[in-house]
Amino acid sequence: MSILDKAIAAITPPESDEDRAEARRKAQAAATPGDWLSAVLEHHRQIEATFETVAQATDASARVAAQKALGVILTGHSIAEEVVLYPALAAHHQAGHAELAYQEQSAAKMEIGLLERLDPMSADYHDKFEHIRGAVLHHVYSEEGTWFLELQQSLHDDERTMLAQRYEEEFARYMGSDNQENMFFSAQT
């Protein structure tokens, strides 16, 4: 973690696990089966589980495989949000949140790429990995705690239906082949 990252973390400590759990409960209550928000929440759970798989890996090859799976799910999820949900945020008077979300996801992708350059069993890797995990968890908290709740409340039924369809299309477009999906799910076991 850089000196700047440490300073920012000291000034703005992350939300607690309890805060994140409460945000998740509220988002889950606002979601309905098959809608865009329930798909997002499922992807968030998958991302969190894959972070844990990376963290628990006991050797370099398992960690690298889990990290690749993390990159796949993070990228597929972020592309779907960037193409479908963030424009919807902007259209519903949350342009600032949409811009911040784009920046956060861009930074996470870059950091995951930099993580690949480190020895997966080193302290430097661990530090960068935990920094990335913390940033992603904060991003998820922002989405589940306010941004997506406000969006869900501002949408008409036809917009909810369209967002669900488009979000799934964009996620599937990136995830594409069975090989990528199998890589993701095999790292989970």
- Tell me how long the chain is: 189
pLDDT at 180: 47
pLDDT tens-digit profile of 17-35?
999 999 999 999 999 999 9
pLDDT tens-digit profile of 52-106?
999 999 999 999 999 999 999 999 999 999 999 999 999 999 999 999 999 999 9
Provide the token pair at 80: 């779907």
b or e along 1-26 (b: 16 or more beta carbons within 10 Å of the residue's beta carbon)? Answer: eeeeeeeeeeeeeeeeeeebeebbee
Backbone Cα Rg of the chain: 17
- Tell me: pLDDT of 169 over 50: yes
Question: What is the pLDDT of the chain when averaged over all its residues?
Answer: 90
Average pLDDT over residues 140-160: 96
Q: Does domain 33-188 have CATH number 3.30.428.10?
A: no
